Amino acid sequence: MDRRQFLTAAVAGGAAASLVSPSAEAQVSPVQTSARIVIIGAGAGGTALANRLVRRLEGAQITLIDPRREHLYQPGLTLVAAGLKPGGYVVSDTAKWLPEGVTWLPERVVAVDAEAKTVSTESGETLGYDWLVVAPGLVLDHDAIEGFSLDMVGENGIGALYAGPEYAARTWAAASRFVEDGGTGLFTRPSTEMKCAGAPLKHTFLIDDIARRAGNAGRMNMVYAAPQATLFGVPIVAEKVRMLFEDRGVDTMMNRTLTGIDAGARRATFATGSGSEEVEYDYIHVVPPQRAPDFVRRSGLSWADRWTDQGWVECDMATLRHLRYPEVFALGDVAGVPKGKTAASVKWQVPVVEDHIVAGIEGREGTETYDGYTSCPMITRIGRAMLVEFDYHDNLVPSFPGMIAPLEELWISWLMKEVALKATYNAMLRGRA
Amino acid sequence: MQDLTFETLIAVFEEIFGRGLFWFMVAAAVLVTFGYFYVLIRDREVSWKKFLVAQLSMPVGAVLAVWFVMVMTDSRLADLGGPIDIILFLGIAVTGAIGMAILVYTLEALLGTKRTKGEADI
């Protein structure tokens, strides 16, 4: 055997050996308890937490309450709205992800009585709890945009990709006509907190790239309009996006809040702070204001002095524990924390809530904390993305420092979004990542 | 990235390919590897004739691996944007090349061909 053959054999043997080596992770024996744990919401947060708690606790009564039969992989909606994936790519059965040993109540929650420690559903059922996790997601307030309704999506140059796979697919139907015909494209975002604030930017970049590939760059007038003064909440990322927009010829209209559209005339109305402004478009991407579900505010769980128009749950930003009701936790989109409305945030929040609930059951204090980690594979064109990761302090916190530059448009970051992200998300749902 | 353990990696690979297909591929890789060592030990020497064909197949494996990844991810060569992309690209190509070489060598040794059966190796 010569040197080349030896190396070939070594690589093959090493790969095989690494695949059969045992996991180094020690298994912790489950905690015995009869605690009643109610989780409102079987989305990313609720499902991942249920899967982890089932492994950590023995004898606990875990109930998930959620009327949705279909689970949505929301990070995939941008790809559907750019024609890169079919609508079915983001849909799966809720039941598929739920572990053995938990009860799923497919109902809508109407109220929480945090004093009596009960949750009421729309069928009139009342459940008592020892621990409550509020993870119902958020509500898209489409009615706040005058003249807009979801049944308009896909027609007359109107897109709205957040509303679900059907609407993301219809968004692509409208956007693909726009990239063929050209004209003015308006890409908006709301003044409220929102899930993945990078998604409207990604949609802008993708539609611009698709138009360029179609040879229509010269016929496009791309405009990004936002109520904020900057393009992204993290200053260093905002600057990078500003430079990319400048490079691609995407104009911006800052400090403009979309308040209404006239679908027939293809005209959008923006509030400017001192008045209103009308802008004509050929394609508009509508991102409505986003708020906590009504029952959260009605139940007195929301902040009284922050986000008063949005109703996010009042909780500690490090432990996600409710500030007035220590047996209540917020998780995911509904949590009233400065950042964290992405699946990546949920991945980091779930172990924190898990730790504090298990510690509480054992009669001790939990130690895990959440520092606002959020990740956004910011797609800048088909085939390239920036892997932007940051925390509460607007610090960049790259997972692969020195290898994957966070503000560089890279193919590897695109591959992560295309190949690894959904797999990691699914592993998270099963409580294994 | 949080908790990037070996167990997490396995979980992610299971999700990418599906549990059945992933472990089938692992089993196939292990089988081919064992087959490769088996023929090396059985023959007690490297067959240069077999190895020549295996080497010639390496570019094919490299191109196939890169093509597969590009097609599956809506990518093109122009998307390579930095050193890490080049390293990854070469890594995919090298993996494809080595995998193909081992497969071809092993198949030739196990199945035999007119060219390689009963040959007198150098």
Residue A86 lies in a domain: no
CATH of residue A330: 3.50.50.60
Binary contact (A1, B82; C-beta < 8 A)? no
The answer on A236 and A319 residing in a single domain is no
Final residue belonging to a domain, choices A313, A329, A362:
A362
Do A114 and A243 belong together in one domain?
Answer: no
Flag whether A92 is in a domain. no
What's the 3-state SS for A122-182?
CCCCEEECCEEEECCCCEECHHHCECCCHHHCCCCCEECHHHCHHHHHHHHHHHHHHHHHC
**Residue ranges of chain A with per-residue pLDDT less than 50:** 1-26
What pLDDT, on a 0 to 100 scale, did the predictor assign at position B10? 86
Cβ pair A23:B5 closer than 8 A: yes
State the maximum Cα–Cα separation within chain B, in Å, rounded to a whole number: 55
What pLDDT score does A1 carry? 39
Band the pLDDT of B40: cuts 50, 70, 90: confident
- The answer to whether residue A416 sits within a structural domain is yes
* A189's tokens: 């975002």
Number of domain units in chain A: 2
Closest partner residue to B84 (CB to CB) among A16, A23, A403 is: A403
Q: Residues A131, A207: one domain?
A: no
Distance CA B14, CA A424 (A): 10
pTM for this one?
0.88
A373, A411, A427 ranked by CB distance to B75: nearest:
A411
Cα–Cα distance, A345 to A400 (Å, whole number): 17
CB A79 within 8 A of CB A196: no
Place of tokens 């390689």: B116
By the CB < 8 Å criterion, does B25 face chain A? no
Residue-wise burial string across A53-84, b where 16 or more C-beta atoms lie within 10 A, e elsewhere: bbebbeebbbbbbbeeeebbbbbbbbbbbbbb
Phi-psi region of A206 (alpha: psi -120 to 50; beta: other; left: phi over 0): alpha
Q: Which residue has the tokens 């600057």?
A: A239
Instruction: For residue A55, give its domain range.
Output: 32-67+107-138+292-362
| Closest residue to A427, CB basis, from B8, B32, B36 | B8
How many angstroms away from the CA of A25 is the closest CA of chain B?
Answer: 8
pLDDT digits 0-9 by tens, A324-348? 999 999 999 999 999 989 999 999 9
With a CB cutoff of 8 Å and minimum separation 6, the contacts of A342 are A75, A195, A196, A374, A375, A376
Q: Which residue of A has its CA nearest to B46?
A: A1
How many CA atoms lie less than 13 Å away from A299 in the CB half-sphere?
A: 27
Q: Which of A1, A130, A281 is nearest to B41 (CA)?
A: A1
| CA A234, A235, A237, A242 torsion-angle sign | positive
Any A CB within 8 A of B5 CB: yes
Same domain, yes or no, for A49 and A113?
A: yes
- SS3 letters across A202-245: HHHHHHHHHHHHCCCHHHEEEEEEECCCCCCCCHHHHHHHHHHH
Q: How does DSSP assign B68-119, residue by residue?
A: HHHHHTT--GGG--SHHHHHHHHHHHHHHHHHHHHHHHHHHHHH--TTTTT-
Q: A168 and A265, same structural domain?
A: yes
Is the CB of A12 less than 8 angstroms away from the CB of B7?
no
Q: In whole angstroms, give the CA distance from residue A138 to residue A108.
A: 13
The contacts of residue A333 (CB under 8 Å, 6+ apart) are A137, A138, A195, A290, A341
**Whole-number Å distance between alpha carbons of A225 and B85:** 33
Distant-in-sequence, close-in-space partners of A358: CB < 8 Å, separation ≥ 6: A31, A53, A56, A57, A366
In sequence order, the β-bridge partners of residue A226 are A254
Distance CA B13, CA B18 (A): 8
Residue of B nearest to A390 (CA): B1
More confident residue, A294 or B18: A294
Same domain? A304 vs A172: no
Is residue A259 domain-resident? yes
pLDDT band, residue B114 (cuts 50/70/90)? low
Nearest CA in chain A to B73: A418
Are A302 and A258 members of one domain?
Answer: no
Residue B16, class by beta-carbon neighbours within 10 Å (0-12 exposed, 13-18 middle, 19+ buried)? Answer: middle
Are residues A323 and A272 both part of a single domain?
A: no
In a domain, A155, yes or no: yes
Q: What was the pLDDT predicted at B96?
A: 95
A295 versus B102: the higher-pLDDT residue is A295
Q: Does A17 touch chain B (CB under 8 A)?
A: no
- Six-digit token string for A59: 């004898």
Q: Which residues of A touch B89 (CB under 8 A)?
A: 411
Nearest to A426 among B15, B46, B79 (CB): B15
Residue A251: give its domain's CATH number: 3.50.50.100
Judge: A24–B5 Cβ closer than 8 Å, yes or no.
yes
- H/E element holding B27? helix B19-43
CA distance B112 to chain A (A): 19
Q: How many CB pairs under 8 A join A and B?
A: 115
Rg over alpha carbons for chain A, rounded to the nearest Å, is 23
Residue A241 lies in a domain: yes
Which of 79-118 (B) contact A at CB < 8 A? 79-82, 84-85, 88-89, 98, 101-102
> d(Cα B30, Cα B14) in Å, to the nearest integer?
17
Q: Any CB–CB contact under 8 A between A8 and chain B?
A: yes
Query: Is the model more confident about B19 or about A330?
Result: A330
